[in-house]
């Protein structure tokens, strides 16, 4: 039986691959892509069966370009996964912290370790495309004066030693990833949905729509506004809802359809518990 192919942004052992393992299990084939757009293209071209896409981080906030990709490609969301982000400083075996002159990692990962770098002002920090790619570069080029900030999986895969564990400033750091597929799947356990819509510019129009869900005991867990490209003062709203009774959710949707434009259900799926 062929393995499930999952497109990820970044290199093997990246947080995206770790999230894919958490959702699908480790018996999968990961398709490495240079960008989030490339992951969507891989799914569109049937080179992948699924995409794992980061959508928000508890510290860095929403990944706004990825909301544009959800609109552009319209791939259904079939699931979500939360991953605790644990960042470690790693280098070639035998190298000590005193030998490290440079540290490379993804810019968001570096920002999340600001306190550590304040304590080590002699270390020069430089940004890379991906946490795991920086670990791979150190391993392949035998860089004895450079360390990477990445996850434990990267240290294991690329044969590096962890010099300092959990150097992230905020220990309650997690990222939410969406699971995208080419076609929607039937999920009888669905209790969460991601939708998008526009309202007119009249006073209280958004509040009126959101109130339909509140009236039916539907919990709004996330709202994100995005400008409509090329349209002044027009916004599209991305909203996540959670429900206990499917009939309540369906009733709220019926009301919402009458008072919104460009309404889309981006996905109905099972809520994943946070880390």
| Domains of the chain and CATH, by start | 4-85+173-181 (3.40.190.10), 88-164 (3.40.190.10), 192-269 (3.30.70.260)
Mean pLDDT for all residues in the chain: 95
- Determine the Cα–Cα distance for residues 80 and 203; give it in Å rounded to an integer: 34
Query: For the chain, what percent of residues have pLDDT higher than 90?
Result: 91
Name the more confident of 108 and 20.
Answer: 20
pLDDT band at 22 (very low <50, low <70, confident <90, very high): very high
State yes or no: pLDDT of 2 exceeds 90. no
Grade residue 28 by pLDDT with cuts at 50, 70 and 90: very high
What pLDDT score does 40 carry?
98
Q: Which residue has the higher pLDDT, 36 or 2?
A: 36
pLDDT mean over 24-31 = 97
Residue 116 confidence class, pLDDT cut points 50, 70, 90: very high
Convert the pLDDT of each residue in 148-168 to its tens digit.
999 999 999 999 999 999 999
pTM metric for this prediction = 0.93
pLDDT at position 271 over 80: yes
Please write the tens of the pLDDT for every residue from 192-240.
999 999 998 889 999 999 999 999 999 999 999 999 888 888 899 999 9
Q: Is the pLDDT of residue 275 over 70?
A: no
Could you count the other beta carbons within 10 Å of the beta carbon of residue 203? 8
Mean pLDDT of the 166-187 span: 94
Residue 202 has what pLDDT? 87
What does the alpha-carbon distance between residue 101 and residue 144 come to, in Å, rounded to a whole number? Answer: 9
Confidence of residue 185 (pLDDT cuts 50, 70, 90): confident
Determine the Cα–Cα distance for residues 6 and 43; give it in Å rounded to an integer. 9
Distances 39 to 8, 20, 200 between C-alpha atoms, Å = 6, 13, 33
């Amino acid at each position: 039986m062929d393995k499930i192919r999952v497109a990820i942004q970044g290199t093997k052992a990246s947080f995206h691959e770790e999230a894919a393992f958490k959702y699908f299990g480790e018996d999968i084939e990961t398709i490495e892509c240079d960008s989030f757009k490339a992951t969507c293209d891989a799914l569109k071209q049937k080179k992948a069966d699924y995409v794992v896409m980061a959508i928000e981080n508890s510290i860095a906030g929403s990944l706004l370009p990825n909301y544009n990709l959800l609109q552009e490609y319209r791939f259904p969301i079939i699931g979500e996964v939360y991953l605790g982000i644990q960042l470690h400083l790693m280098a070639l075996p035998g190298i000590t912290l005193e030998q490290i002159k440079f540290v490379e990692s993804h810019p968001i990962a570096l920002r999340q370790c600001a306190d550590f770098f304040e304590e080590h002002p002699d270390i020069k920090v430089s940004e890379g495309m991906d946490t795991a790619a920086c670990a791979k570069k150190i391993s392949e080029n035998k860089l004895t004066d450079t360390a990477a900030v990445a996850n434990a999986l990267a240290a294991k895969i690329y044969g590096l030693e962890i010099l300092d564990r959990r150097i992230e400033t905020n220990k309650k750091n997690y990222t939410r990833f969406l699971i995208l597929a080419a076609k929607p799947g039937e999920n009888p356990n669905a209790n969460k949905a991601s939708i998008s819509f526009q309202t007119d510019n009249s006073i209280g129009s958004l509040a009126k729509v959101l109130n339909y869900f509140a009236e039916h005991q539907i919990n709004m867990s996330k709202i994100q506004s995005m400008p409509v490209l090329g349209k002044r003062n027009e916004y599209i709203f991305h909203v996540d809802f959670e429900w206990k009774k499917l009939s309540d959710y369906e009733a709220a949707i019926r009301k919402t359809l009458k008072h919104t434009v460009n309404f889309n259900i981006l996905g109905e799926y099972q809520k994943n518990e946070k880390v």
